[in-house]
Amino acid sequence: MNYNYHCKDSALVKITGLIMVKDQEKNIINSIKSIYNQCDHIVVIDTGSTDNTIKVIKSHFPDVELYSVSWVENYGYMRNLCLKYVSNSWVWIVDADEQLDNKIKNQELHAFLKQLEMKYFDSDIICTTKVRNIGQKAFTRKRNLFKLSNKLKYHGFVHEELISTHSKVKIIDTNIELVNKGVELSEILKFNKPERYCKLLLKNIDAEPTNPR
């Protein structure tokens, strides 16, 4: 990422941190805290927590916008539902069991995104971040920082993918790093991930048998 600290009107760029959560009282505070200073405001969508997740969010971050929605077993659908609660120009989607792992100054990030807006003004803009599992060096890239657009939607029952129908799309790979703590055995068992994800992947295959993803 190349930053221009004096990028004109970078303050006009607004970033919303968007977190979808359920039963993450252990991780949600660190997740919010890690992106708190980089975002202009943060929206958390709770999908049915039965632990102290909502309580700890309200007590630690009273300025965070908190909403509750009913869970539907379709991650693409739920991501798109969450996007309806965002009005700022840029969206940064972070999972409740993820947290930022490298230092990024608010001014740097805003100036960088403003540069992208000016350079690719006629395109949908998607930035990828590096996401690695806790304790590992290898990473995958997620399309989770993007300029809000009515042509951008999530697709897929699980391992959902952000796709644009715009004729021009610019994808930028960044060095922003997130650590995923959801691979811990306790988290896997709590949400019964193997069985649920397997069923959802089979649905994806039935719906899109020719999709190599």
180-194 pLDDT tens trace: 998 888 888 889 999
Strand order in the sheet with 169-180: 65-68, 41-46, 15-21, 90-93, 140-147, 124-133, 169-180, 98-100
Q: What is the pLDDT of residues 10-68, one digit of tens each?
A: 778 999 999 999 999 999 999 999 999 999 999 999 999 999 999 999 999 999 999 99
Residue 4: pLDDT above 80? Answer: no
- Beta-bridged to residue 196, according to DSSP, are none
CA 127 distance to own-chain centroid: 11
Distances (CA, A) of 127 to 7, 156, 161: 19, 19, 13
CATH 3.40.50.1400 fits 10-207, yes or no: no
pLDDT at position 123 is: 98
| Nearest Cα residue to 46 out of 17, 29, 69, 25 | 69
**Residue 149 to residue 146: CA distance in whole angstroms:** 9
* Average pLDDT score over residue span 201-211: 91
Question: 132 φ, ψ to 5°?
Answer: -125, 150
Instruction: Tell me the domain boundaries of the chain.
Output: 10-207
pLDDT at position 1 is: 57
Full-model pTM: 0.92
pLDDT at position 213 is: 77
> Helix, strand, coil: what percent of the chain each, to 5?
30, 30, 40
* Average pLDDT score over residue span 150-177: 96
Residue 201: pLDDT above 80? Answer: yes
Q: What is the pLDDT of residues 61-119, one digit of tens each?
A: 999 999 999 999 999 999 999 999 998 799 999 999 999 998 899 999 999 999 999 99
How many helices and strands in the chain, by DSSP H and E? 6, 10
Cβ-in-10-Å burial (0-12, 13-18, 19+) of 77 comes to: middle
